[in-house]
Structures are given as C-alpha cells and as structure tokens.
Amino acid sequence: EVQLVESGGGLVQPGGSLRLSCAASGFTFSDHYMDWVRQAPGKGLEWVARIRMKANSSSTEYAASVNGRFTISRDDSKNSLYLQMNSLKIEDAATYFCARHAGCSPTCFSAMDYWGQGALVTVSS
C-alpha cells in the first residue's frame, strides 16, 4: 500500500525557515518524480515544486511564488522527500501535501496519483 506521511509543519514567524519531510512507503520511491502542493485555508490547490528521479539528475521545477525561497530535495536511501522553506511570508501559510507522480511509463506526462495527508504551516508573528 502506497503511503506518504508529511511531518515538520508548525508555527513560524515571517522571514523564518521550516523544513518539511515526507516519508514514502509501499512503492519504489526512487522510480518516481515527487511533488509538493499546498492549500491555503479555505482556498484551492496550488502546485509548489517537483523533483525528478535521480536518473533525470533529480532536476527540479518551482512555482514562481516560491522560486528562490524554497528548495525541494530527496533522499532515495531514506525514501524521503523534503521541502526547505526560507524567507517565509504570511501568504505561505497553508497545508502542504506531498504527492507522487504516477510514473514515466509510457510517458512522463503523468498526473499525481497518491497524496499524503498534509502538514500545516502557519506563518504569523
């Protein structure tokens, strides 16, 4: 059974930093791109970042709203995904979901097929 479990959320002041983790199990983590998606309270879904597989140099993509402030990374030996969030703003407050990219067979044009339950990040002074 595929499981994604986020951790590391909490309260941080504007300008502060936080690191989210996502522990994956039930599938071969190294074979999948991974995403972070966030949802501000009462709002819709916003894609944040993507990291490709090691076979694709673990290359990354970011939403413009977080580019330069957030860093997505992965440790395939630990089946873990991370999101380092620096220079946090009030508008970054949200529940952050990690999600699995469905895979590159036959094409890497794939949706997100499994999601974690989310980690709540509150940005307030």
Partner 1 sequence: DIQMTQSPSSLSASVGDRVTITCRASQGISIWLAWYQQKPGKAPKSLIYAASSLQTGAPSRFSGSGSGTDFTLTISSLQPEDSATYYCQHYNSYPLTFGGGTKVEIK
Q: Minimum Å distance from CB 36 to partner 1? A: 11
55's tokens:
């076979």
Alpha-carbon distance 84 to 104, whole Å?
A: 26
Residue with token string 């999101």:
83
Report the chain's terminal Cα–Cα distance, integer Å.
40
Q: Is 117 in the site for partner 1 (CB under 8 A)?
A: yes
Question: Does 31 interact with partner 1 (rule: CB under 8 A)?
Answer: no
**Span interacting with partner 1, options 10-18, 20-28, 78-86, 110-118, rule CB under 8 A:** 110-118
Residue 120 interacts with partner 1 (CB under 8 A): yes or no: no
Q: Which of 44, 55, 57, 125 binds partner 1 (CB under 8 A)?
A: 44
- Among 32, 50, 52, 74, the residue binding partner 1 under the rule CB under 8 A is 50
Q: Which stretch binds partner 1 (CB under 8 A): 10-18, 20-28, 41-49, 82-90?
A: 41-49
The Cα 109–Cα 120 span in angstroms is 29
Q: DSSP state, 32?
A: S
Nearest residue to 62 (alpha-carbon basis) of 53, 50, 73, 52: 50
Q: For binding to partner 1 (CB under 8 A), which residues are involved?
A: 35, 37, 44-47, 50, 61, 63-64, 97, 99, 102, 109-118
